[in-house]
Amino acid sequence: MRFGTPCCLGAMEMKMLNRRALMMVLGAAALPLRAARAEDDGIEGPGGEPIAYGPAEGFSWEALLALAAARRAEPYAPRPDPAPEALAAIGYTQHNHIRQPVAGGLFPGAGRDGVVTFFHLGELFRRPVRIHVVEGGEAREVLYRRGYFRYPAGSPAAAVPDDVGFAGFRVHEPERRPGQPGDWLAFLGASYFRSSGDLQQYGISARGLALETGAFDGVDEEFPDFTDFWIEEMRGGVMRIHALMQGPSVTGAYRFDVSHFPKTVMTVTCRLFLRRDVQRLGIAPLTSMYWYSQETRWAQGDFRPEVHDSDGLLIHDRRGGAIWRPLTNPKELSFASFLTESPEGFGLMQRDRDYASYEDSVAFERRPNLWVVPLSGFERGSVQLIEFPTQSEYADNIAAFYVPEAPVRAGDVLEFRYRLHWSGAEPPRPLARMVAHRLGRPHRHYPPGVNPQPDRLERKVVLDYSGVALPGVRLKPEDVAVTLGHGTVHAIRVERSVDDPLGWRVIFDVFTTETEDCEAIVKLSAGGVTLAETVVFRFSPEDGLLPL
């Protein structure tokens, strides 16, 4: 494992601001998706004009691979903004009220779990994508028409020309309540896509590719686009979606085989054609939001105990081990790398499923976990976690992905296959899990005005564990191994959980004279047997606590 925080942030500050602006736009993309489940109150215009198609052309996976390879040989040219003035007038509120009726979408039919409707372009989503329908080895482009959509009278969308294209699309499930067919999958913005999972709540997002995320030395993060989609009607419970990716450094062909019931699972196949050398190529990238949890709530001035879409990174290795890294909202960009040979899986989890932890009607307790299962191409590399500082819940500030160990050079052709599980459940492991961690001050009873070691910072760490590996075990202090980046560990204690028959609490103090963030690694084992996942967490000896 490697940990680090960049010390020269002068050049990074502008890059982080640029990234935050884009991430706030893409984070806002989930909000219209949640609103799409509501009634269409106040929306005027019939919408539902019959879909118009272009001429049929042959299509296959092999043809898409050839197209991606050919595009790499051409100079990169992003698709232009098709109607700058008209789209600039379609702000967030206006965009949220432009909807295509589900009955007018692709593949309509009673009870179908795969009706596709389109996102309109707007101020936040200016770059059009081309969408095709595939049937019998032939593809026909869906032509944009204003009449597909319903929008309020006087909407600036009425001024958009008829050839602008679409911003993206979403897939709907059968009606759970009359008139409210919910969407469960969406592709919108750059290479972002997301699913509501089995808990029917949007939260975390995935990306097709992450390039130079958190990179330094003047290298800017790159957001390649899915520019073209080819969609097949759902058959046998599986919908197949193809996509062409294009960016300054890469082109790529993607295939998504997506099933919705009983769980939302995607099998992703991608072949990448590199235009340039890349320092950090992020495969199966995940993007989430972590603002604060209970131990730092006081610093945010918010009424809610916790605000986050995910609360930890989970990694399973192929030897039966597991790593849990609680997320943080750092003061400056934070980076962690976990070296691994072909991980069994990794993902961002939302472990806390108690409404009382959030006290918010937006249902943070139902945000899905997103678990990545590598299938091929993940021979040796690292799972990397990057945490950006944020001052609100409106910016996705967490990124996690797999980075191959081998250098990535211009001209390389790389292929990866992996599976994405969007679910409220975690992958099983016969190890106890850390379910809560807390920080505080040790109880020291000095006379008033007396501090025998004024330069020493003291913190108490409390970790709660629960799980199948702990029943019948009498945990002892010597079963707890703690490694610190700096400082010393004192007074390790263990207690049985008061309210969990499968639980134990581990308590210890940390003394340090340094003020930099500290990494702690905690392992539980008895008689040579690992009892719990390895917990790796970061904390600041100075921050995160109420002042005295």
| Domain segments of the chain as ranges | 2-422, 433-539
In this predicted structure, which of 174-183, 415-424, 514-523, 528-537 has the lowest mean pLDDT? 174-183
What was the pLDDT predicted at 501?
A: 85
Nearest one of 412, 432, 513, 414 to 479, comparing CA atoms? 432
What fold does the segment set 2-422 form as a domain?
Answer: Beta-galactosidase; Chain A, domain 5 (2.70.98)
Q: What is the pLDDT of residues 170-227, one digit of tens each?
A: 999 876 555 555 899 999 999 999 999 999 999 999 999 999 998 666 788 999 999 9
CB of 149 closer than 8 Å to CB of 157: yes
What fold does the segment set 433-539 form as a domain?
Answer: Immunoglobulin-like (2.60.40)
In this predicted structure, which of 21-35, 418-432, 479-493, 515-529 has the lowest mean pLDDT? 21-35
* Residue 447 pLDDT > 90: no
First vs last C-alpha separation in the chain: 35
Tokens, residue 518: 């500290």
Nearest one of 296, 241, 426, 446 to 350, comparing CA atoms? 426
Q: How far apart are CA 196 and CA 368, in angstroms?
A: 7
* Residue 53 pLDDT > 60: yes
Average pLDDT over residues 148-166: 88
Query: Is 2-422's fold the same as 433-539's?
Result: no
Residue with token string 């609360």: 311
pLDDT band at 48 (very low <50, low <70, confident <90, very high): confident
**pTM > 0.75: yes or no:** yes
Tokens, residue 214: 């958190």
Average pLDDT over residues 487-514: 91
Nearest one of 180, 64, 55, 49 to 118, comparing CA atoms? 49
What was the pLDDT predicted at 112?
A: 66
* Residue 121 pLDDT > 90: yes
CB of 483 closer than 8 Å to CB of 468: no
Average pLDDT over residues 523-548: 79
Average pLDDT over residues 427-452: 78
What was the pLDDT predicted at 453?
A: 64
One-letter amino acid for residue 421 of the chain: H
Average pLDDT over residues 226-230: 98
